[in-house]
Amino acid sequence: LSVTAPFGSQQVDAFVDAEAYFLVNDYVPTPLRDYTMECFQGRDYDSSFYCSHYDLSHKICGHVGVVTFSSSEYEVNENDEFVRVTVVRSGGGVGTVSVDFSLKHLT
């Protein structure tokens, strides 16, 4: 018997008869996780992108995780046009998170 559950439901019985599956690119017979990429822009202070493989899992934790900055302080030269602030999300995986921050000008 199938069970009707609303989208996003975490009812235990909603997945009783679920089967494991892989998402597969029609042209390459391997799981989609083998082709996931993460990209960064501006590492050389220009518009170029750097992309690399990203480990992806279908497993989802039931919370948003913890968000931290990779450093408590950032320093830039006065002539610099931008500052790279690295935000790290660890754990979790459910929902969207946002980060509020402010900059303090010191001379």
Question: Quick check: 45 and 77 in contact, CB under 8 A?
Answer: no
Q: What does the pLDDT read at residue 26?
A: 60
Note the pLDDT tens digit of each residue in 46-64.
778 888 888 776 555 566 7
Residue 105 Ramachandran class (φ > 0 left, ψ -120 to 50 alpha, else beta): beta
Query: Tokens at residue 105, please?
Result: 């000008």
Q: Give me the pLDDT at residue 72, please.
A: 84
pLDDT tier for residue 17 given thresholds of 50, 70 and 90: low
For the chain, percent of residues with pLDDT exceeding 70: 55
Write down the pLDDT at residue 14: 62
pTM of the entire structure? 0.38
Q: Give phi and psi for 15, each to the nearest 5.
A: -120, 20
Q: What is the Cα Rg of the chain in Å?
A: 20
SS3 13: helix
